[in-house]
A = this chain, B = another copy of it.
Amino acid sequence: MPDKPDLKVPDSAVPRLAQYHHALMEMAEGVASSDDLARVTGFSAAQIRKDLTYFGQFGRPGFGYSVPDLKQALSRILGTDKAWSVAVVGTGKALSVFGDLDRFRRHGFRVTACFEKEPDKNGAWDDVPVYPMDKLGDVVRRENIRMAVLAVSEGAAQRTAEILAESGVQAILNLTPARLQLPERVAVRPMDLAMELEKLSYRSGRLGDR
């Protein structure tokens, strides 16, 4: 049981924690005040200090926060201090849209396997082995993969997610539009491009009005 009995952490604080962490990753070692963090993240200094108190005390009054210490504390809180093994299921190449594997690794996510319906002959992509889809359960179990990015077709999503869940995967980033029905213990996060475009469309409309 790490950290605190954490009373009630507002849901809205979690994305902010991730942003604090990202900001710290780009800062030089040394000391940063809540004001410094406020400047780079755009949140208020009070908000930042408040968010941190949900998990403990990480700063020194009169000084600020040690960048490496706070960085480590945040990755502990987020659960990324021990690297997650991640599988990309569907179309591995697609991952390259989001940046390079090194960046994910630095944030605590090691992509250790890809799965495709029809993998190329050579069976590897940028160091990551690519397996045919019917090896999914076996490889996930063998390699102790605990997280997956789901990028299959909408029709195959539920079935594939069930295989992942049964094979021990604890967390799924769902890039498909399907609403997945899985046991409570599996954390699922939808990431729907159409929905993001709609939010963007809405906001663009309001901006134009001014």
Contacts and interface: CB of A to CB of B under 8 A. Distances in A.
Interface stretch (A117-125, A159-167, A182-190): A182-190
Given A108-B201, A203-B171, A18 B195 contact: yes
Interface stretch (A56-64, A96-104, A129-137): A96-104
Nearest to A152: B97
A14 B79 contact: no
B187 A84 contact: no
A209 interface: yes
A28 interface: no
Interface stretch (A29-37, A43-51, A172-180): A172-180
Contact of A185 (B109, B149, B207): B207
A104 B202 contact: no
A147 interface: yes
Nearest to A178: B99
A79 to B, nearest CB: 4
A1 B200 CA distance: 18
Given A98-B193, A207-B187, A199 B15 contact: yes
A10 interface: no
Given A91-B97, A98-B175, A189 B196 contact: yes
Contacts of A158: none
A99 B154 contact: yes
A93 interface: yes
Given A22-B195, A186-B207, A189-B196, 7 more contacts: A80-B201, A84-B197, A94-B96, A103-B194, A108-B201, A170-B208, A187-B204
Interface of A: 1, 14-15, 17-19, 21-22, 77-80, 84, 86, 90-91, 93-99, 103-104, 107-109, 147, 149, 151, 153-154, 170-173, 175-177, 184-187, 189, 191-205, 207-209
